[in-house]
């Protein structure tokens, strides 16, 4: 059996780490360097670092900061935020990251996936799909920190990204983000069943049992933020990781 990766997601903004609830109400949770050092000690499988408002705010990549963060990491790192071209991606890889995470740029340029993959390999390109239910209860893909609906169905969008050459898909429920209510398992399973590339479940995890449920619903890996940076729901910051616990699929 393959061991399932457990991935902390860190949200970067203005040099600090923040955590949101349903992509809103960002709360400062700490310094990224210190946080990465803690995850080193706890032997996290890999980390995802997202400058989550960079595309929305039309900012560039803070290469000095993200290189500093990667330089402290003993595990594989993925970075997303304001990657708009192959040159942007190349600089991120040069900064010390093993993967790039693409989101909003894919609405206008899916060719970027193949352009990066041809040089660094498909496994180095992650497609992030942020999903929210509309007033009619239908899943729709959103971009730019969840502020703009693309009108796309997440299952069809996942298929499009796979055809474009994406190596991995991270599906994130905006409605579950920061709620500790568990993943949207229906969403995870629908996307995972539609593609052959690995699917990372994200958005809503509140405990190890949520990881297990996601794997049972076809997730290849699980990601979380709140449960890794808070003691419990509604309580203070305490960086943690389920050391010694392993998932298999």
Tell me the three-class secondary structure of 75-118, residue by residue: CCEEEECCCCCHHHHHHHHHCCCCEEEECHHHHCCCHHHHHHHH
Q: Which helix (H) or strand (E) holds 16?
A: strand 16-21
Tokens matching residue 40: 């080193």
168 and 200 in contact (C-beta within 8 Å)?
A: yes
- The answer to whether the beta carbons of residues 127 and 161 sit under 8 Å apart is yes
Is 130 noted as a catalytic residue in this protein? yes
Retrieve residue 136's tokens.
């009619």
Q: Residues 130, 177, 184, 210: which is the catalytic one?
A: 130
CB 129 within 8 A of CB 191: yes
Indicate if the alpha-carbon torsion angle 245, 48, 181, 193 is positive or negative.
negative
Q: How far apart are CA 120 and CA 126, in angstroms?
A: 12
Residues annotated catalytic, as ranges:
130
């Amino acid at each position: 059996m393959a061991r399932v990766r457990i991935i902390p997601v860190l949200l970067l903004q203005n040099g600090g780490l923040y955590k949101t609830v349903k992509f809103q109400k960002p709360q400062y949770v700490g310094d990224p360097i210190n946080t990465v050092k803690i995850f080193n000690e706890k032997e996290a499988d890999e980390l995802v670092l997202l400058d989550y408002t960079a595309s929305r705010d039309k900012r560039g990549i803070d290469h000095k900061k993200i290189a500093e963060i990667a330089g402290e990491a003993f595990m594989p790192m993925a970075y997303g935020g304001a990657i708009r071209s192959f040159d942007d991606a190349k600089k991120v890889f040069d900064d010390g990251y093993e993967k790039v995470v693409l989101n909003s740029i894919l609405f206008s340029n899916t060719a970027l996936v193949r352009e990066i993959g041809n040089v660094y390999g498909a496994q180095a390109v992650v497609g992030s799909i942020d999903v929210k239910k509309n007033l009619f209860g239908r899943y729709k893909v959103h971009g730019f920190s969840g502020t703009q609906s693309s009108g796309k169905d997440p299952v069809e969008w996942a298929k499009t990204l796979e055809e474009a050459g994406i190596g991995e898909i991270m599906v994130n429920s905006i409605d579950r983000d920061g709620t500790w209510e568990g993943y949207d398992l229906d969403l995870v399973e629908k996307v995972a069943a539609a593609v052959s590339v690995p699917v990372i479940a994200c958005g809503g995890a509140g405990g190890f049992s949520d990881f297990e449920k996601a794997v049972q619903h076809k997730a290849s890996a699980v990601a979380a933020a709140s449960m890794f940076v808070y003691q419990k729901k509604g309580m203070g910051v305490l960086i943690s990781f389920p050391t010694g616990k392993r998932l298999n699929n």
